[in-house]
């Protein structure tokens, strides 16, 4: 009986899951691999494999675990040493009963209701991060939409618009209306005759009329797109837009970034989150790798090059013993500020680079509350509101939409704003976010409860949310992107997708290709041979 | 022990679900009801109630069921006659084994896999449709995000851009870039000096630089927002944008509507769909009302006014009997083209209005397929692609993202385009959509299988997707918005939210308020007393 291509694909799909079917489709030429997917996971097994070679990986974040996962496919014998009891590193979901311990000795205990959570670190997956999405497929991580954009969300600058928030739909569409009106006027006065042909001018003005929702005489007089003062209903209830906000009010610099946030390539719809928390991704890796590969609560104490490769001494907190592991190669995914404090015999240039590379801070503050932002008054279901000041934004939950309770972020802030916020005592930071939410949603501030604050510069074993390279062409970036003898490096800091899981994993992929090449040549690449 | 406001709300919530908690919050002044929520369901019970009064409602769509639900709360004794075996009317979800029978005698049987479905009619709920969202809360309908916008979706005009699709992110951001460049130029040449102060000019140009992602010398040279030719990765893989598409190519009229679709007030994020299919809403109403109120497979044959009220004769297809029901009042939610064919003693003006009111057609064509639109090549997860021509769009499923199989719409079309498409035999319409999808996604057309077509003008008991009033102030709209003696009317056609569940329900709310007022006066309002 002949088997059609389609039934072949379905049979493969049933047996091997999505990835198998996908690969089969590609094999049959049904899905040409895109050039944009140049970063697909490397197939090291093709090169001959790593049978017999031992690799010790420092850190069970997604970078280290993806490295172990792919190296394992090629026969390498991997061990991951992880300082914490949990895997995931900066992919950290906090739930009821979890403890947040900081380097200052402080401790917070999560009191959220069962089912509520806070993604303290990584919290979204863009559509174009195909490597991490591919692992979600391969490892069976169930995804749901992360609502990154809501036209009902708010923009608040206490110094503008009389301190009243502006709805996102209003800012976006009133701005476009005003811009269209001005450009149509300029075109019709002949200001751009040198740039546009008569035909172009005509088409351009017709376009601007649609683009800005202009009146027949080319004025912007408001638009239903910008929101309705009266909702349409039955009888005589006709949809009635608001009067437009003046261009002057919209030219507020602090609004622009909020308005354009959704156009940032990493923030564009469709965005995802794993169901139940972002840690579903590290959990899936950890389950696939198993406890034989991942050694938890094993904190690295010493890194040494040996004649054969490397020797890593560590403290096994469960066994209560100081132990050591020998391997042919090492991959360190430990964040640089943490690595800098570990006794290691890196070459001097590496040591210096590790010591001086700055990391950025980031603060997230979360509250549990009844969903006052949903429902008739605000109609906000997921998405982000933006506010001028160090708390930066209010982020509404994308899970459990239309249920009773949710976890809302009162702050998610980085860079200089995080530094500014961090100057306040934690309790004051938290109360500040309550005030911001109260300003956005008057009368609702006191509904917030069970706050949690995570400051990444103060999280042990991490000490920062991501690397802070001054440019995308740092000499130290190039240096650490090459192995120091048998010791390789990986992590978000060795990618151009900093502070994203995609970057961490792409760096891991690049590193294991180098490691595999080194292994197949039969000798360690020395630091001196770096290009 | 004193009870805090918060614990009171939580206790109410635990006992009575979200609506109870919400109402409690409103009662405590924690959530001020918004003026935008003027359309909240009427509380007829306050007026004295309808005990002893009998109402027969024609049609178990959401309009008729919402009317019965609210009238029931006020003590009215309601019976709904529904011609079909199912409830929901134009809220119709088609699954494996379901039959699609048309007025031309044709029959299609749905062969989708288990778990796959097509929302043949209503398919999305915007955030501002708070009445229907409120019923979802009240009746426990679980919602998920309907992805109405994807920046990876495509725009295709076979006559433009060499017949190649343009990505949504490219069209949106290249257009904004070009517009910003032109306006900045016009401002700097003084063309708008009469409109803008020197300070405004400066702020405006600074704004346009951010708005359009312009170069320091104010040219638009492409933007990462518009998409990446090279994805950022590790090592030397730096994010590299595409060259911008020329303004000339973007000025294609057929692109504009697609680009601006997401700004239509009813289409703005966040959008919802019930989990498992839109018919979860009518099913929830039907479950709440129960079979004592909803009589299925009972087709209305005759409508008569009587001395006491109304007498409705109908055919009970289950019992195989011709039966009749007497009531004090009637609410007809039957679509007008269907109602026009029923033997009824409406007053002449009503009869004429019912007979002449046009309804619009709409065609949806769905296919089951492996999700070739997801994954590395297209990165499309939900959302809509737009195409010039009678099929209008390709709509990707929002449920089951990242699974193996999905149901994709090859056409969702209305108005003149639907009329054009309907001229082809069904099989040709279906093949036409395959060609459109093939043009969008070359090499994938043959992966489509198990097609279904629903043409609403040919669906028995409906005969159209919605009313086609020529203006929003039709005399017939005003007439039918008042009762013809004891006979009232409701449905989307009596709202300014045509062809939406929100409109159907708001019309029902308005109608039951009129009916209740009529009942409390103790005498039927006659057609002669219409304002």
Q: How far is CA B25 from the centre of its chain?
A: 30
Q: For residues A406 and A367, what is the distance between their CA atoms, to the nearest angstrom? A: 8
pLDDT of residue B251: 86
Vertex A502: Cα angle to A500 and A505 (nearest 5): 115
Burial of residue A523, with CB atoms counted within 10 A of its CB: 0-12 exposed, 13-18 middle, 19 or more buried: exposed
Mutation target for B interface from A149, A233, A469: give the one with most B CBs within 10 A. Answer: A233
Q: For residues B143 and B132, what is the distance between their CA atoms, to the nearest angstrom? A: 12
3-state secondary structure of B86: coil
Q: What is the phi/psi pair of residue B302, to 5°?
A: -150, 140
Residue of A nearest to B449 (CA): A6
The superfamily CATH assigns to domain B54-89+280-357+467-530 is FAD/NAD(P)-binding domain (3.50.50.60)
Determine whether the interchain pair A210/B144 forms a contact, defined as Cβ–Cβ distance below 8 Å. no
pLDDT of residue A33: 38
A27 contacts: CB under 8 Å, gap ≥ 6: none
B353 contacts: CB under 8 Å, gap ≥ 6: B476, B479, B480
3-state secondary structure of B395: strand
Q: Strands B117-119 and B93-95, how do they pair?
A: antiparallel
A395 contacts: CB under 8 Å, gap ≥ 6: A384, A408, A409, A412
Q: What percent of chain A has pLDDT over 90?
A: 83
pLDDT, tens digit, 9 for 90 and up, residues A172-230: 999 999 999 999 999 999 999 998 999 999 999 999 999 999 999 999 999 999 999 99
Question: Is A140 a residue whose pLDDT tops 60?
Answer: yes
Tokens of A215: 């009146």
HSE toward the beta carbon, residue B254, CA cutoff 13 A: 19
Q: For residues B437 and B457, what is the distance between their CA atoms, to the nearest angstrom? A: 25
Tell me, letter by letter, the H, E, C secondary structure of A19-71. HHHHHHHHHCCCCCCCHHHCCCCCCHHHHCCCCCCEEEEECCCHHHHHHHHHH
Q: For residues A223 and A212, what is the distance between their CA atoms, to the nearest angstrom? A: 8
> Which residues in chain B (149-188) have CB-CB distances under 8 A to chain A?
149-152, 169, 172-173, 175, 179-180, 182-183, 185-187
3-state secondary structure of A214: coil
Q: What is the phi/psi pair of residue B351, to 5°?
A: -55, -45
Would you say domain B93-152+362-458 falls under CATH 3.90.660.10? yes
Q: For residues B470 and A498, what is the distance between their CA atoms, to the nearest angstrom? A: 55
Answer positive or negative: Cα dihedral of B195, B200, B201, B204: negative
Residue of B nearest to A241 (CA): B265
pLDDT of residue A37: 53
3-state secondary structure of B94: strand
Contact between residue B324 and residue B311 where contact means Cβ atoms under 8 Å apart: yes
Nearest to B125 by CA among B41, B62, B55: B62
The shortest C-alpha distance from A232 to chain B (Å) reads: 5
Give the DSSP letter string of A275-297. Answer: TT-TTHHHHHHHHHH-TTTEETT
pLDDT of residue B132: 97
Nearest to B459 by CA among B72, B64, B8, B86: B86
Question: Over the range A336-368, which residues count as b (16 or more CB within 10 Å of their CB) and which as e?
Answer: bbbbbebebbbbeebeebbeebebbbbbbbbbb
Nearest to A489 by CA among A501, A499, A476, A502: A476
Tokens of B475: 């005399």
pLDDT of residue B523: 55
Q: Scanning the structure block, which residue is given the tokens 């005589």?
A: A236
Q: For residues A289 and A79, what is the distance between their CA atoms, to the nearest angstrom? A: 10
Grouped pLDDT means (10 residues each) for chain B, 531 residues: 39 39 42 49 83 95 98 97 98 98 97 98 97 96 97 92 92 97 96 92 95 97 96 94 92 83 97 98 98 98 97 98 98 98 98 97 98 96 96 97 97 94 97 97 98 98 97 93 97 97 97 94 49 30
Nearest to B483 by CA among B517, B523, B530, B531: B530
Contact between residue A362 and residue A418 where contact means Cβ atoms under 8 Å apart: yes
Tell me the residue ranges of DSSP E strands in A436-529. 449-455, 466-467, 487-489
CATH number of B5-35+169-251: 1.20.1440.240
- CA-CA distances (angstroms) from residue A525 to A58, A214, A484, A520, B234? 19, 65, 8, 11, 19
pLDDT of residue B207: 94
pLDDT of residue A522: 75
Cis peptide before A270 (omega within 30 of 0): yes
Mutation target for A interface from B197, B235, B386, B504: give the one with most A CBs within 10 A. Answer: B235
- CA-CA distances (angstroms) from residue A60 to A72, A85, A306, A311, A334? 15, 10, 23, 18, 9
Nearest to B521 by CA among B513, B510, B531: B513
Q: pTM of the full predicted structure?
A: 0.91
pLDDT, tens digit, 9 for 90 and up, residues A54-109: 999 999 999 999 999 999 999 999 999 999 999 999 999 999 999 999 999 999 99
* Domain residue spans of chain A: 5-35+169-251, 54-89+280-357+467-530, 93-152+362-458
pLDDT of residue B198: 94
Tokens of B329: 């009042």
pLDDT, tens digit, 9 for 90 and up, residues A312-360: 999 999 999 999 999 999 999 999 999 999 999 999 999 999 999 999 9
Q: Is B40 on the interface with A (CB under 8 A)?
A: yes
- CA-CA distances (angstroms) from residue B385 to A145, A175, A193, B450? 19, 25, 34, 21
pLDDT of residue A21: 39
Average of per-residue pLDDT across A452-469: 97
Q: How far is CA B318 from the centre of its chain?
A: 32
Tokens of B300: 């209305």
pLDDT, tens digit, 9 for 90 and up, residues A249-296: 888 877 888 999 999 999 999 999 999 999 999 999 999 999 999 999
Q: Looking at the DSSP assignment, which residues form a beta bridge with residue B109? A: B99
Contact between residue A514 and residue A527 where contact means Cβ atoms under 8 Å apart: no
3-state secondary structure of B353: helix
> Which residues in chain B (114-143) have CB-CB distances under 8 A to chain A?
127-128, 130, 133-134, 136-137, 142-143
> Which residues in chain A (15-34) have CB-CB distances under 8 A to chain B?
17-18, 21-22, 25, 29-34
ipTM value, please give it. 0.91
Q: For residues B387 and B420, what is the distance between their CA atoms, to the nearest angstrom? A: 15
Q: Residue A244 carries which DSSP code?
A: P
Cis peptide before B270 (omega within 30 of 0): yes
Tell me the residue ranges of DSSP E strands in B76-116. 77-81, 93-95, 99-101, 107-109
Tell me, letter by letter, the H, E, C secondary structure of B204-223. HHHHHHHHHCCCCCCCCCCC
Q: For residues A275 and A257, what is the distance between their CA atoms, to the nearest angstrom? A: 29
Query: Which residues of chain A make contact with B181, given a CB cutoff of 8 A?
Result: none
Question: Is A526 a residue whose pLDDT tops 70?
Answer: no
Give the DSSP letter string of A134-199. Answer: HHHHHHT--EEEE----TT-EEE-TTSGGG--EEHHHHHHHHHHHHHHHHHHHHHTTTTTTTS-HH
Q: For residues A196 and A176, what is the distance between their CA atoms, to the nearest angstrom? A: 21
Number of cross-chain residue pairs from A and B with Cβ atoms under 8 Å apart: 352
Which of A204, A234, A402 lies closest to B494 in CB terms?
A234
Determine whether the interchain pair A372/B30 forms a contact, defined as Cβ–Cβ distance below 8 Å. yes
Tokens of A154: 């708010």
Determine whether the interchain pair A376/B237 forms a contact, defined as Cβ–Cβ distance below 8 Å. no
Contact between residue A367 and residue A397 where contact means Cβ atoms under 8 Å apart: no
pLDDT of residue B382: 98
Residue of A nearest to B476 (CA): A235
> Which residues in chain B (455-494) have CB-CB distances under 8 A to chain A?
472, 481, 494
Question: Is A485 a residue whose pLDDT tops 60?
Answer: yes
Q: Is A255 on the interface with B (CB under 8 A)?
A: no
Q: Is B1 on the interface with A (CB under 8 A)?
A: no
């Amino acid at each position: 009986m002949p088997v059609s291509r389609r039934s072949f694909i379905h049979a493969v799909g049933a047996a091997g899951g999505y990835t198998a079917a996908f690969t089969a489709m590609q094999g049959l030429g049904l899905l040409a691999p895109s050039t944009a997917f140049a970063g697909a996971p490397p197939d090291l097994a093709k090169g001959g494999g790593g049978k017999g070679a031992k690799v010790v990986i420092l850190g069970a974040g997604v970078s280290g675990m993806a490295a172990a996962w792919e190296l394992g496919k090629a026969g390498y014998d991997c061990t991951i040493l992880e300082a914490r009891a949990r895997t995931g590193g900066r992919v950290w979901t906090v739930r009821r009963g979890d403890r947040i311990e900081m380097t200052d000795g402080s401790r917070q205990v999560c009191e959220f209701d069962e089912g509520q959570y806070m993604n303290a670190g990584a919290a979204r997956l863009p559509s174009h991060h195909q490597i991490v999405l591919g692992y979600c497929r391969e490892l069976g991580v169930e995804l749901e939409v992360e609502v990154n954009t809501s036209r009902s969300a708010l923009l608040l600058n206490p110094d503008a618009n009389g301190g009243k928030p502006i709805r996102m739909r209003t800012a976006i569409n009133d701005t476009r209306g005003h811009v269209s009106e001005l450009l149509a006027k300029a075109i019709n006065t002949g200001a751009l005759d040198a740039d546009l042909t008569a035909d172009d001018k005509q088409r351009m003005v017709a376009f601007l009329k649609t683009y800005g929702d202009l009146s027949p005489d080319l004025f912007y007089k408001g638009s239903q797109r910008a929101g309705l003062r009266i909702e349409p209903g039955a009888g005589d209830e006709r949809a009635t837009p608001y009067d437009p906000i003046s261009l002057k009010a919209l030219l507020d610099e602090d609004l622009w970034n909020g308005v354009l946030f959704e156009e940032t390539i990493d923030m564009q719809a469709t965005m995802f989150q794993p169901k139940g928390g972002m840690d579903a991704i590290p959990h899936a890796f950890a389950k696939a790798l198993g406890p034989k590969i991942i050694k938890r609560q094993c904190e690295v104490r010493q890194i040494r090059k040996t004649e054969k490769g490397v020797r890593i001494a560590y403290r096994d907190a469960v066994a209560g013993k100081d132990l050591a592991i020998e391997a042919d190669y090492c991959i360190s995914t430990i964040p640089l500020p943490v690595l800098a404090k570990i006794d290691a015999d890196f070459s001097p240039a590496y040591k210096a680079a590790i010591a001086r590379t700055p990391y950025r801070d980031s603060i997230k503050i979360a509250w549990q509350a009844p969903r006052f932002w949903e429902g008739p008054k605000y109609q906000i279901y997921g998405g982000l509101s933006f506010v001028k000041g160090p708390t930066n934004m209010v982020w509404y939950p994308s899970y459990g939409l239309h249920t009773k309770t949710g976890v809302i972020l009162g702050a998610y802030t980085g860079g200089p704003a995080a530094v500014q916020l961090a100057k306040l005592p934690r309790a004051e930071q938290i109360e500040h976010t309550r005030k911001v939410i109260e300003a956005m949603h008057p009368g609702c501030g006191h509904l917030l409860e069970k706050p949690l604050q995570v400051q990444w510069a103060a999280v042990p074993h991490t000490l920062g949310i991501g690397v802070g390279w001054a440019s995308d062409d740092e000499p130290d970036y190039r240096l650490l992107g090459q192995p120091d003898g048998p010791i390789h490096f990986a992590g978000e800091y060795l990618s151009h997708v900093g502070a994203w899981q995609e970057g961490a994993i792409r760096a891991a992929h690049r590193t294991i290709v180098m490691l595999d090449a080194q292994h197949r040549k039969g000798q360690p690449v020395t630091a001196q041979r770096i290009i």
